[in-house]
Amino acid sequence: MKSNAQTSTLNGNGMEAKEYPNFPEGNGTPNLAIGSWDVDAEIAALELRVRKLRHLHRLQRLAQDLESRSCNGKVCNGKVESALEPILELVCARFSVKKEDVMSRDRRTRIVWPRHIVTYLLRQLTEGSSNYIGQVIGGRDHATVLNSLRSVEDRMETEHDFDALIKALKKEAQAIVEMTL
């Protein structure tokens, strides 16, 4: 393999001139003129890559949209609102709390757990994304929804009574949601 060993000499005005003895141009100095380095071709290649990435992004968004519309036996994204009301009523009646409290920003434990359970049931019984469910339940973000899901699942693993309660609520909620749709 040839090396482009670099040697330095002083040119006529005292500046250092670098030579590359094995450079393809053959005269020992790289030709940095625009014509020898095809900038236009590089720009065209970059533009092509950008177009491909944009196209890929559009395809990913389309796939997500189609995925959110397919139901797979569950309630679709557009139906999360219609599933919210019966699930919310069921959970509020079971825990003796007001719907407004569950939908509020209240952080008291007696309000937070019913909110977690409503979130969990919506996620289990619908195809709604965590972002979408968060928006339906009082404008929360997806991380809050994921935290609710994790909290309920962790408590179900450690407390058998809570697990039985959630399974019973899920069965009731599923029957009610199927009747309303």
Check residue 130 and give its pLDDT: 87
The Cα 87–Cα 175 span in angstroms is: 10
Q: What angle is formed at CA 146 by the lines to CA 141 and CA 151, rounded to 5 degrees? A: 130
Q: Within 13 Å, how many C-alpha atoms sit on residue 114's CB side?
A: 24
d(CA 93, CA 153): 22
Task: Say whether pLDDT at 78 is over 80.
Answer: no
What mean pLDDT comes out for the span 61-68?
70
Spatial contact of 128 and 122, defined as CB atoms under 8 Å apart? yes
> Is the pLDDT confidence value at 141 over 80?
yes
Q: What is the pLDDT of residue 2?
A: 47
pLDDT at 119: 93
Dist CA 135 CA 77 (whole Å): 12
pLDDT digits (tens, 9 = 90+) for 36-51: 567 888 888 899 999 9
For the chain, domain boundaries: 1-33, 38-69, 77-180
What pTM was estimated for this model as a whole?
0.57
Look at 27 and 108; give whichever has higher pLDDT.
108
Q: Name the phi and psi angles at 8, rounded to 5.
A: -115, 140
- Over the chain, what is the mean pLDDT? 78
102: number of Cβ within 10 Å: 23
Q: Which amino acid is at 23?
A: F
**pLDDT value at position 1?**
46
Q: Is the pLDDT confidence value at 157 over 70?
A: yes
Instruction: Give the pLDDT confidence score for residue 146 in this predicted structure.
Output: 93
The least confident of 48-52, 148-152, 174-178 is 174-178
Q: DSSP class of residue 63?
A: H
Is the pLDDT higher at 95 or at 75? 95
Residue 148 has pLDDT above 90, yes or no: yes
Q: What is the pLDDT of residues 85-128, one digit of tens each?
A: 899 999 999 999 999 999 999 889 999 999 999 999 999 988 88
Please give the CATH topology (third level) of the domain spanning 77-180. Answer: Chromosomal Replication Initiator Protein Dnaa; Chain: A; (1.10.1750)
